[in-house]
Structure 1
Amino acid sequence: MLSNQFRITAVTAIAPITWGTTYLVTSELLPPGRPLLAAVLRALPAGLLLLALTRTLPIGSWWWRSLVLGTLNIGAFFALLFLAAYRLPGGVAATMGAIGPILVAVLASLLVGERLTLRRVLAGVAGIGGVALIVLQADAALDLVGVMAALAGAVSMSLGAVLSKRWGRPERARRFGRASTGPVPGLAVTSWQLVAGGLVLIPVLLLVEGLPSGLPDATAVSGYAYLTLVGTALAYALWFRGIGLLPVGSVSFLSLLSPVVAVFAGLFVLGEALSLGQVLGVAVVAASIVVVFTAPNVPARPAPGSATRPT
């Protein structure tokens, strides 16, 4: 019988697995050269949909916390990801992003009291190497601005994940006009972040890309619908649920599944070849995830200034 932790981990892994299909959907279904438009149409409609389902608004400090989390996890992360992808080959950007698990491990030790173990650090280094084998090309060029954007994006999402763990869920919220008590649904907190992140991205979209001149065709609509419903609403709901239930330093390693899925999507859908180095990289990534999730449970130490909150 599967353990409860394994089930939670498997469900959480659906998030990075769906994110791994983003490149394929974007390249095959969406209009070219509109990544920020895609980001806004992913985040804002998904957030509004979840908000309509939960009918719950933040109160008190959760207004600014939602803005902070939405900016880190969605708005700033998507914008920096766009800049990195524009200035760097995709393999370099993905490899830079793979430092996330190590960043999360360090931040989690400082902000939520999770132990910074040698096992987790070594697994993080191995994960970076595995991703590099999967996606990095020998002739990949470096660009300082692109590298800094990729690193800043990794820092942004890592800090957002750790703060999501530290702050947990609020004890009270406002249910469309009336105060409510009891546990606030995780979907509500996810909706607040997605709406905030989408709103943060709108000025960037207007300044960098501008609005499209016409309506999207049926193919693009299907792509946007997939990214909104599956790649964002479902994925982020499962991701933040996993962060609430599992050590955030462990959950972060699941993000390494995204480049693995992207490679296999290209293999099965586009008929791309899989090299021996990529096979080795997949094995290394899988091993790093297994090593982290099979580690003995080490009690977290109290983080400075932290308080217990429901998750």
Structure 2
Amino acid sequence: MINRSWLSVALLILVTAIAPTLWGSTYIITTELLPADRPFIAACLRLLPAGIILVLMSRHLPQRSEWLRIFILAILNFAIFHVLLFTAAYRLPGGLAAVVGAIQPLMMMCLIWLVDGRKPAQLALAASIIAVIGMSILLLSPSSTWDLIGIMAATVGAVLMTCGVFLAGRWRTDMPLLAFTGWQLLIAGALLAPLAWVLDPPLLTLTTKNILGYGYLSLFGTTLAYVLWFNGIAKLSPVAVSSLGLLSPISAVIIGWVILEQSITGFALLGLIAVLGSVLTVQWALAPKKVPKPTSNFKL
């Protein structure tokens, strides 16, 4: 057994938190910079270039026994999930989609309980429930549009991401981190390419604004973010990682406040504080004070 200092744990949490913070820009990038109603194209152009970059950087080919797991994770974490993500972004207000996504830590606790028989920590459970309430106070309004397809897309997307995080943490291998991430992205992008060609309206022209939007989502919102995210999944509790995902809508709110001059006052501010407090509480409740030396880990 080795001791992991609180400083190292806190640093790991902060580095992992960069990923959902970057994801918080997805909605504003989608609505302000990308062509409308092209979820398959948006997902493909976000994933495929990022996968190519990471695979070329890693120069590592998965072993025969690893391909099936990589393929399943590519489907759960990226291919279907990102189509649902952009579908929800096009059809729902960002706030409503975020409230649906806020149930992921609760889903993760239920999944771990069902599969491993481990009951959730009471403090983490209470904090996760408060997070959903706080997110509702922060983001929902009487004018929110309850589009059925958008709600279904956001809900199924939350379920898939929960399963993807859970399985990615269990299926640890000696595969380098860049390869583990890159092959998932590459496979997902390749699967989405023909669907984007057939199902979405063609991109007849790309403006500078469109190119910047797709480039940002691929390089920062995907390449960088998912390397940090999978590194966190390998080393933190899956519930703790899912809780960090709540920083994505918080980031979106702050971006809206800074760029779109949206206000955060009254109950909305109280909701924001409640969500941030719940995230910190979950991290504190689940942070390991003692962890075994890992026998296998992702390598850069």
TM-score by length of 1: 0.86
On the 8 A contact 1:56/1:188 being kept in 2, the answer is yes
Matched, 1:162 2:166: yes
Matched, 1:79 2:83: yes
The one-letter amino acid of 1:285's match is V
Give the drift of 1:128.
Answer: 1.1
CA RMSD, Structure 1 to Structure 2 (Å)? 2.3
Matched, 1:202 2:193: yes
1:182-230: CA deviation from partner (whole Å, max 9, x where unpaired):
xx3111100011112212322432343143123x222222222111111
Give the drift of 1:297.
Answer: 5.4
Any gaps of 5 or more consecutive residues in structure 2?
none
Matched, 1:4 2:11: no
> Structure 2 vs 1, CA of residues 297 and 213 (structure 1 numbering), >3 Å: closer, same or farther?
closer
On the 8 A contact 1:18/1:231 being kept in 2, the answer is yes
Identity between Structure 1 and Structure 2 (%)? 40
1:244-279: CA deviation from partner (whole Å, max 9, x where unpaired):
011111111011111111111111112122232221
Inter-partner Cα distance in structure 1 for 2:287 and 2:225 = 26
Q: Which residue of 2 aligns with 1:127?
A: 131
Q: Which residue of 2 aligns with 1:268?
A: 258
Give the drift of 1:231.
Answer: 0.5
Inter-partner Cα distance in structure 1 for 2:46 and 2:166 = 23
1:76-109: CA deviation from partner (whole Å, max 9, x where unpaired):
1112223334444432222111111111122234
Moved >4 Å (runs of 4+) = 110-115, 296-300
Any gaps of 5 or more consecutive residues in structure 1?
172-183, 301-307
The one-letter amino acid of 1:205's match is A
Matched, 1:223 2:227: no
Inter-partner Cα distance in structure 2 for 1:114 and 1:271 = 44
Matched, 1:66 2:70: yes
On the 8 A contact 1:134/1:259 being kept in 2, the answer is no
Matched, 1:192 2:183: yes
Residue of 25, 32, 36 corresponding to 1:28: 32
> Structure 2 vs 1, CA of residues 201 and 112 (structure 1 numbering), >3 Å: closer, same or farther?
farther
1:34-88: CA deviation from partner (whole Å, max 9, x where unpaired):
3332211111100110001001111223211111101101111112223334444
Inter-partner Cα distance in structure 2 for 1:269 and 1:278 = 18
Inter-partner Cα distance in structure 2 for 1:76 and 1:280 = 34
1:5-61: CA deviation from partner (whole Å, max 9, x where unpaired):
000000000000000112222233223333332211111100110001001111223
Inter-partner Cα distance in structure 2 for 1:296 and 1:230 = 28
> Structure 2 vs 1, CA of residues 287 and 94 (structure 1 numbering), >3 Å: closer, same or farther?
same
On the 8 A contact 2:128/2:282 being kept in 1, the answer is no
Inter-partner Cα distance in structure 2 for 1:21 and 1:6 = 24
Residue of 222, 225, 229 corresponding to 1:235: 225
Give the drift of 1:139.
Answer: 2.6
SS for the counterpart of 1:139 is coil
> Structure 2 vs 1, CA of residues 75 and 26 (structure 1 numbering), >3 Å: closer, same or farther?
same
SS for the counterpart of 2:203 is coil
Residue of 95, 102, 108 corresponding to 2:99: 95
Inter-partner Cα distance in structure 2 for 1:67 and 1:33 = 27
- Greater fraction helix: 2
